[in-house]
Protein backbone atom coordinates (compact mmCIF):
# COMPACT_ATOMS: atom_id res chain seq x y z
CA UNK A 1 0.00 0.00 0.00
CA UNK A 2 2.64 2.53 1.11
CA UNK A 3 4.62 2.07 -2.11
CA UNK A 4 1.79 2.96 -4.47
CA UNK A 5 2.31 6.73 -4.64
CA UNK A 6 2.55 7.77 -8.28
CA UNK A 7 4.75 10.78 -7.73
CA UNK A 8 7.78 8.92 -6.47
CA UNK A 9 8.96 6.27 -8.94
CA UNK A 10 11.80 5.21 -6.66
CA UNK A 11 9.27 4.12 -4.09
CA UNK A 12 7.37 1.87 -6.47
CA UNK A 13 8.09 -1.74 -5.71
CA UNK A 14 11.04 -3.46 -7.29
CA UNK A 15 8.81 -6.43 -8.03
CA UNK A 16 6.27 -4.37 -9.93
CA UNK A 17 8.99 -2.70 -11.98
CA UNK A 18 10.59 -6.03 -12.76
CA UNK A 19 7.28 -7.59 -13.78
CA UNK A 20 6.49 -4.66 -16.07
CA UNK A 21 9.99 -4.77 -17.56
CA UNK A 22 9.64 -8.50 -18.20
CA UNK A 23 6.36 -7.96 -20.05
CA UNK A 24 7.92 -5.26 -22.21
CA UNK A 25 10.92 -7.43 -23.04
CA UNK A 26 8.73 -10.42 -23.90
CA UNK A 27 6.69 -8.39 -26.35
CA UNK A 28 9.57 -6.43 -27.86
CA UNK A 29 12.39 -8.96 -27.88
CA UNK A 30 10.87 -12.35 -27.21
CA UNK A 31 11.12 -15.14 -24.66
CA UNK A 32 14.79 -16.03 -25.15
CA UNK A 33 15.93 -12.43 -24.69
CA UNK A 34 13.97 -12.01 -21.46
CA UNK A 35 16.78 -12.90 -19.08
CA UNK A 36 17.17 -11.85 -15.46
CA UNK A 37 20.01 -9.54 -16.51
CA UNK A 38 17.94 -7.90 -19.25
CA UNK A 39 14.99 -7.43 -16.92
CA UNK A 40 17.24 -5.97 -14.24
CA UNK A 41 18.74 -3.47 -16.67
CA UNK A 42 15.40 -2.35 -18.00
CA UNK A 43 13.88 -2.08 -14.53
CA UNK A 44 16.92 -0.24 -13.19
CA UNK A 45 17.61 -2.69 -10.39
CA UNK A 46 20.36 -5.13 -9.53
CA UNK A 47 20.02 -8.69 -10.77
CA UNK A 48 20.65 -9.86 -7.23
CA UNK A 49 17.45 -8.11 -6.14
CA UNK A 50 15.54 -10.18 -8.68
CA UNK A 51 17.19 -13.42 -7.64
CA UNK A 52 16.05 -12.71 -4.08
CA UNK A 53 12.47 -12.67 -5.39
CA UNK A 54 12.47 -15.36 -8.08
CA UNK A 55 14.60 -18.52 -8.35
CA UNK A 56 14.99 -18.01 -12.11
CA UNK A 57 13.64 -16.04 -15.02
CA UNK A 58 10.97 -18.73 -15.48
CA UNK A 59 9.14 -17.90 -12.26
CA UNK A 60 9.52 -14.18 -12.97
CA UNK A 61 8.05 -14.59 -16.46
CA UNK A 62 5.21 -16.74 -15.15
CA UNK A 63 4.24 -14.19 -12.56
CA UNK A 64 4.56 -11.36 -15.10
CA UNK A 65 2.38 -12.99 -17.72
CA UNK A 66 -0.12 -15.13 -15.82
CA UNK A 67 -1.20 -12.99 -12.88
CA UNK A 68 -4.57 -14.70 -12.44
CA UNK A 69 -8.11 -13.54 -13.06
CA UNK A 70 -9.60 -10.43 -11.54
CA UNK A 71 -12.15 -11.15 -8.81
CA UNK A 72 -14.96 -9.24 -10.53
CA UNK A 73 -14.53 -11.37 -13.64
CA UNK A 74 -15.44 -14.52 -11.80
CA UNK A 75 -17.81 -13.49 -9.00
CA UNK A 76 -20.85 -15.68 -9.70
CA UNK A 77 -24.35 -14.29 -10.07
CA UNK A 78 -26.19 -17.60 -10.25
CA UNK A 79 -26.92 -17.39 -13.97
CA UNK A 80 -24.80 -20.33 -15.09
CA UNK A 81 -24.49 -19.38 -18.76
CA UNK A 82 -23.70 -15.73 -18.06
CA UNK A 83 -21.25 -16.59 -15.31
CA UNK A 84 -19.42 -19.10 -17.49
CA UNK A 85 -19.27 -16.63 -20.36
CA UNK A 86 -17.70 -13.91 -18.19
CA UNK A 87 -15.31 -16.51 -16.81
CA UNK A 88 -14.22 -17.86 -20.22
CA UNK A 89 -13.91 -14.36 -21.66
CA UNK A 90 -11.71 -13.21 -18.79
CA UNK A 91 -9.65 -16.37 -19.09
CA UNK A 92 -9.23 -16.05 -22.85
CA UNK A 93 -8.38 -12.37 -22.51
CA UNK A 94 -5.72 -13.08 -19.88
CA UNK A 95 -4.10 -15.71 -22.12
CA UNK A 96 -4.34 -13.41 -25.14
CA UNK A 97 -2.36 -10.52 -23.66
CA UNK A 98 0.69 -9.79 -25.82
CA UNK A 99 3.12 -10.73 -23.04
CA UNK A 100 1.25 -13.97 -22.32
CA UNK A 101 1.22 -14.89 -26.00
CA UNK A 102 4.93 -14.11 -26.19
CA UNK A 103 5.75 -16.32 -23.22
CA UNK A 104 3.33 -19.25 -23.55
CA UNK A 105 5.23 -21.32 -26.07
CA UNK A 106 8.58 -20.61 -24.41
CA UNK A 107 7.19 -21.72 -21.06
CA UNK A 108 5.73 -24.86 -22.61
CA UNK A 109 9.09 -25.67 -24.19
CA UNK A 110 10.86 -25.07 -20.90
CA UNK A 111 8.49 -27.29 -18.98
CA UNK A 112 8.73 -30.04 -21.55
CA UNK A 113 12.45 -30.38 -20.89
CA UNK A 114 12.61 -29.65 -17.16
CA UNK A 115 9.33 -31.10 -16.18
CA UNK A 116 9.82 -31.89 -12.53
CA UNK A 117 10.48 -28.54 -10.94
CA UNK A 118 8.03 -26.02 -12.24
CA UNK A 119 4.87 -27.26 -13.92
CA UNK A 120 2.70 -27.60 -10.81
CA UNK A 121 3.30 -23.94 -10.02
CA UNK A 122 2.50 -22.91 -13.58
CA UNK A 123 -0.60 -25.03 -13.43
CA UNK A 124 -1.76 -23.38 -10.22
CA UNK A 125 -1.14 -20.08 -11.93
CA UNK A 126 -3.13 -20.80 -15.07
CA UNK A 127 -5.77 -22.83 -13.27
CA UNK A 128 -8.87 -21.02 -12.12
CA UNK A 129 -10.50 -24.17 -10.85
CA UNK A 130 -11.70 -22.68 -7.53
CA UNK A 131 -13.49 -19.89 -9.40
CA UNK A 132 -15.07 -22.47 -11.72
CA UNK A 133 -16.25 -24.43 -8.69
CA UNK A 134 -17.76 -21.24 -7.22
CA UNK A 135 -19.73 -20.71 -10.42
CA UNK A 136 -21.08 -24.26 -10.33
CA UNK A 137 -22.00 -23.92 -6.65
CA UNK A 138 -24.03 -20.78 -7.41
CA UNK A 139 -25.92 -22.42 -10.29
CA UNK A 140 -29.60 -23.29 -9.85
CA UNK A 141 -30.33 -26.83 -8.63
CA UNK A 142 -30.69 -29.26 -11.51
CA UNK A 143 -28.43 -27.41 -13.94
CA UNK A 144 -25.27 -29.32 -13.02
CA UNK A 145 -25.07 -33.10 -12.88
CA UNK A 146 -24.20 -34.02 -9.27
CA UNK A 147 -22.45 -37.16 -10.53
CA UNK A 148 -20.02 -35.18 -12.67
CA UNK A 149 -16.46 -34.58 -11.49
CA UNK A 150 -16.22 -30.79 -11.87
CA UNK A 151 -12.49 -31.24 -12.25
CA UNK A 152 -12.97 -33.04 -15.55
CA UNK A 153 -15.31 -30.37 -16.87
CA UNK A 154 -12.89 -27.66 -15.82
CA UNK A 155 -9.96 -29.32 -17.56
CA UNK A 156 -11.96 -29.59 -20.79
CA UNK A 157 -12.72 -25.87 -20.53
CA UNK A 158 -9.07 -25.04 -19.78
CA UNK A 159 -7.89 -27.15 -22.72
CA UNK A 160 -10.28 -25.34 -25.03
CA UNK A 161 -9.12 -21.93 -23.79
CA UNK A 162 -5.47 -22.92 -24.21
CA UNK A 163 -6.06 -24.34 -27.69
CA UNK A 164 -8.05 -21.27 -28.68
CA UNK A 165 -5.18 -19.05 -27.54
CA UNK A 166 -2.17 -21.06 -28.68
CA UNK A 167 -3.63 -22.21 -31.98
CA UNK A 168 -5.40 -18.97 -32.78
CA UNK A 169 -6.35 -18.60 -36.45
CA UNK A 170 -6.01 -22.29 -37.15
CA UNK A 171 -7.54 -25.33 -35.54
CA UNK A 172 -9.68 -23.45 -33.13
CA UNK A 173 -10.75 -20.21 -34.73
CA UNK A 174 -14.38 -21.19 -34.32
CA UNK A 175 -13.82 -22.08 -30.65
CA UNK A 176 -15.10 -18.74 -29.40
CA UNK A 177 -15.86 -18.12 -25.73
CA UNK A 178 -19.55 -18.54 -26.59
CA UNK A 179 -18.86 -21.93 -28.17
CA UNK A 180 -16.70 -23.05 -25.23
CA UNK A 181 -19.53 -22.12 -22.88
CA UNK A 182 -22.11 -24.08 -24.91
CA UNK A 183 -19.85 -27.14 -24.88
CA UNK A 184 -19.23 -26.76 -21.15
CA UNK A 185 -22.99 -26.47 -20.49
CA UNK A 186 -23.50 -29.69 -22.47
CA UNK A 187 -20.88 -31.42 -20.32
CA UNK A 188 -22.43 -30.11 -17.11
CA UNK A 189 -26.10 -30.91 -17.77
CA UNK A 190 -27.60 -33.81 -15.86
CA UNK A 191 -28.04 -37.15 -17.55
CA UNK A 192 -31.40 -38.17 -18.93
CA UNK A 193 -33.10 -39.76 -17.12
CA UNK A 194 -31.53 -38.02 -14.17
CA UNK A 195 -29.66 -40.09 -11.60
CA UNK A 196 -31.80 -38.76 -8.75
> Which ranges in 66-196 belong to alpha helices (H)?
71-74, 80-96, 98-113, 119-126, 129-138, 150-166, 177-188
Least Å distance between CB 67 and its own copies? 17
Interatomic CA distance for residues 107 and 40, integer angstroms: 20
Instruction: Closer to its own copies by CB, 48 or 112: give it.
Output: 112
Interatomic CA distance for residues 182 and 169, integer angstroms: 20
Instruction: Closer to its own copies by CB, 68 or 106: give it.
Output: 106
Instruction: Closer to its own copies by CB, 68 or 190: give it.
Output: 190
Least Å distance between CB 3 and its own copies? 34
- The total of other beta-carbon atoms located within 10 Å of residue 38's CB is 16
Instruction: Closer to its own copies by CB, 43 or 126: give it.
Output: 126
Least Å distance between CB 86 and its own copies? 20
Instruction: Closer to its own copies by CB, 40 or 88: give it.
Output: 88
In this structure, are residues 26 and 99 in contact, taking their beta carbons and an 8 Å threshold? yes
HEC letters along 10-48: HHCCHHHHHHHHHHHHHHHHCCCCCCHHHHHHHHCCCHH
Instruction: Closer to its own copies by CB, 15 or 87: give it.
Output: 87
Kindly list the residues in this chain that would bind its own copies in the complex (CB under 8 A).
101, 105-106, 108-109, 111-112, 115, 119-120, 122-123, 126-127, 148, 151-153, 155-156, 158-160, 162-164, 166-172, 174-175, 179, 182-183, 186-187, 189-192
Least Å distance between CB 185 and its own copies? 10
Least Å distance between CB 15 and its own copies? 25
The DSSP element (H or E) to which 51 belongs, if any, is helix 47-53
Least Å distance between CB 29 and its own copies? 13
- Sorted by sequence, the CB contacts under 8 Å of residue 102 that are 6+ apart come out as 26, 27, 30, 31, 65
Amino acid sequence: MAGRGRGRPRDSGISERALAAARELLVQRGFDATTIQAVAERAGVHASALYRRWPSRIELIEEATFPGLSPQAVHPTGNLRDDLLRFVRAYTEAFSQPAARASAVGLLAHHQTSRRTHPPELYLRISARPQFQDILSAAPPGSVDPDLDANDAFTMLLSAVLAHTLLANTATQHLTPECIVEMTLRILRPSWPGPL
